[in-house]
Structure 1
Amino acid sequence: MRATAAERQRDVVFAFPGQGAQWVGMADELMNSSPIFADRMRECARAIDPLVDWSLLDAVRSGELDRVDVVQPALFAMMASLAAIWESLGIAPDAVVGHSQGEIAAACVAGALSLEDSAKVVVARSKALRVLSGHGGMLSVSLPAEEVRDLVGQWTGVSLAAINGPASTVVAGHPAALDEVAEYCAARNVRTRRVPVDYASHSAQVEQVRAELSTELAGITWHEAEIPFYSAVTGGLLDTATLDPDYWYDNLRRTVEFEQATRTLLADGHGIFIEVSPHPVLTFALRETVDATGAEALTIGSIRRDDGGMPRLLASLGELYALGAEVDWAPVFAAHAARLTDLPTYPFARERYWLEDSGQATADVTAAGLAQAGHPLLGAVVAVADSGGRVVHRPGVGREPAVAGGSCRRRNNSLPWYGFPRTRDPRG
């Protein structure tokens, strides 16, 4: 891959997804191989563990991730810790964007929320969703948002939950209604997929937990972000002085305007999107929007499901470097005593060891005291004085078509098989 000068100047965006990137054991390898990741994860544990009845470190290393109030804090900690690795490698974001719960990690990395307040938001949000568990669901639909708005209007209690890309949307509502939407779409060859959750976030069902969420978040403090924060609630750049409890309720209730946020980032000159997550789930939507706008932007992930160690992360880093980003390689090689070495100041010297074709069809061997063999595959013949035998020599490479065409494969000069019947006596 090659990068142009323009590509090297493009700003980096850290993109944080919502739910769906989790997998059992997602932090295990990096906890063992990356001190930076492990330190940040322990900081997250110190902020989250007092608020819950389970262990964050157990959850991200080997725990079951079947409860929303476990999954979402665990994903937050994974995203915050992966961001720390990227930053340690010299890849600092010029902007951040989050999808649904991913906005909490985005706000934390941007400096708009402290780690402790971020933990309070993600825990309170996930506990509110547990109240809704068992009463709803979500369904992805491969249609543009305008068509989906018309579609969901036919069912009571179904909402347009997320607009991820030009033809990637999600609806939420009662499970029975979602089944009807899926059947309606299938009859018209529209692809749908049930999201593996049992609640309907970004729908009217969220309204019943508004008071509880506001109470839980009453004590958080928000700050002016150090890094530009692009909101998937508003679809644009946001002043983080507005990240109050009402904003976090809107983050859970309103439609996720991720496509619009991506378009705004592209319009503002951002061209490298790194999905900071344990498995890429936003990359397709990002790529879809990039292609629809005709922009020249790059999209890469961090680690992948069942491939969550430093080799996978370094492969992503290498891809980013090949595409033109500046990378600080010193931390990568610190444990290996690696050093830079100067290239030679002189050109590389080359010496050929293969026989060159003289261009002559035959050679005069009499000047060297040899006799012509009189055979198309033999170059000369010498009589052995004490035995009466003869020593025969083959011609140079390329002088005879039979030798040049069939006997020099793999640089192995050998006599073709069809020459042997006539070599018992060079006179034929």
Structure 2
Amino acid sequence: MFSGQGSQYYHMGRELYDHNAVFRRWMSKLNDIIYQKVGISITDEMYNEAKNMDDKFDHILYTHPAIFMVEYSLARVLIESGVEPDYVLGASLGEVTCAAVAGIVSVEETIECLLKRAELIESYCEFGSMIAIIHNSELYHQVSSISLHSELAAVNYCSHFVISGDSENLLKIEKYLTTKNIIFQTLPVRYGFHSANIDSIESEYKKFLQNFSFKKPKIPVISCLLSDYVTEVSAEYFWDVSRYPIYFQKTILKLEKDAQFNYIDLGPSGTLANFVKYNLREDSLSQFYDILSPFGQDIKKLEEVEEIFN
């Protein structure tokens, strides 16, 4: 499983970067591709010793490729150790990582898409905001001061959803949530992904995406945009995963009707594994695992996953 914007932080994956040769090799390879294209080093910024883990890491020219680099490199670590996925699942930007891991697009093309999206957003979009709300998503539809001034960006489990939109409007919503003692978290992003806040780049980005040919996936892809398996991907799809709501809860509940799974979260924060936990029935035989988190023990958790599945 691959997560998206909001899951990033300074020094994510640092333990593996320092001590796992495969992870470092792939991170360096991807970093070199980006440096050749735009002249910036993602690893220099992400692993900047002057930055603390709790400093805001939200410059998307860095965070877009950084999330992909960490997720893709970690996927390669598992695959090269013999842990191969039966399926890949993505949420938001994580769907782009999915496409690369599944062979729908090449690594170089994926990086081009992410850099172009970041460049367009920074050039043409007003600043926006996203808020994760710890409450049943029905609240969104029941409270007009929320639904009229934001868009539903994601529903992750029965008591966790995300809204997105204009910064000023979301600040008013934060004040409302505070007065109602509703717990929320403002995500570390500068723009309102999955909302009209990014609509100004739609035409230009879709035009850019027409330059690529998308192959059939070599590994079955599960999309949290569609809550279904994906057999073909188009340029339109690469836009849709950043513009429209992500239905993680609906996706997991649908999967659980079919079978039991081992869910391995390769995102930077382990958030999807946590979301899975809250979506599983008590009698489910499915298991969930994370590897990376801001709290460390990345190597230990990686070794545990490799031991379980090898």
Question: What is the TM-score normalised by the length of structure 2?
Answer: 0.88
Is 1:296 the equivalent of 2:285?
yes
Deviation, structure 1 residue 285: 1.4
Shift of 1:154: 5.4
> What are structure 2's unaligned runs of at least 5 residues?
52-56
SS of alignment partner, residue 91 of structure 1: coil
1:150 aligns with 142
Distance 1:164 1:134, change over 3 A: same
**Counterpart check, 1:159 vs 2:151:** yes
CA contact (8 A) 1:155 1:177 kept: no
- Matching residue of 2:112: 120
CA change 1:319–1:50 in 2 (3 A) is closer
Aligned residues of 1:28 and 1:62 also touching (Cα < 8 A): no
- Match of 1:304, SS state, is coil
* Residue in structure 2 matching 1:175, options 125, 146, 167: 167
Question: Secondary structure of 1:149's match?
Answer: helix
For the pair 1:43 / 2:29, whether they are aligned, the reply is yes
Deviations 1:110-164 (A, max 9, x none): 1222111111222122223324665311111122233313335755441001111
CA contact (8 A) 2:164 2:192 kept: yes
How far is 1:282 from its partner?
2.0
Query: Residue 55 of structure 1: CA displacement?
Result: 1.4
Aligned residues: 304
SS of the equivalent of 2:127 reads coil
Deviation at 1:234, TM superposition (A): 0.8
Greater fraction of residues in helix: 2
Structure 2 residue corresponding to 1:215, chosen from 174, 182, 207: 207
Q: 1:31 to 1:190 in 2, by over 3 A?
A: closer
Q: Which amino acid aligns with 2:75?
A: A
Tell me: higher relative CO, structure 1 or 2? Use CA pairs within 8 A at least 6 residues apart: 2
Partner residue, 1:279: 269
Structure 1 vs Structure 2 CA RMSD: 2.4
Give the drift of 1:270.
Answer: 4.1
Q: 1:194 to 1:32 in 2, by over 3 A?
A: closer
Q: How far has the Cα of 1:318 moved from its partner? A: 1.9
SS at structure 2 position matched to 1:282 = helix
Amino acid at match of 1:72: H
1:55-112 deviation digits (Å, cap 9, x = unpaired): 1332343286441111110110111001111122222111111111011111111122
Larger CA deviation: 187-196 vs 149-158: 149-158
Structure of higher CA gyration radius: 1
- How far the C-alpha of 1:304 sits from its partner, in A, is 2.5
Contact 1:236 1:261 in 2 (8 A): yes
Q: Which residue is equivalent to 2:41? A: 55
1:23 pairs with 2:9: yes
Match runs of 1:218-233 below 5 Å: 218-233=210-225
Residue equivalent to 1:255:
245
Once residues 295 and 170 of structure 2 are traced to their aligned partners in structure 1, the CA distance between those partners, rounded to angstroms, is: 31
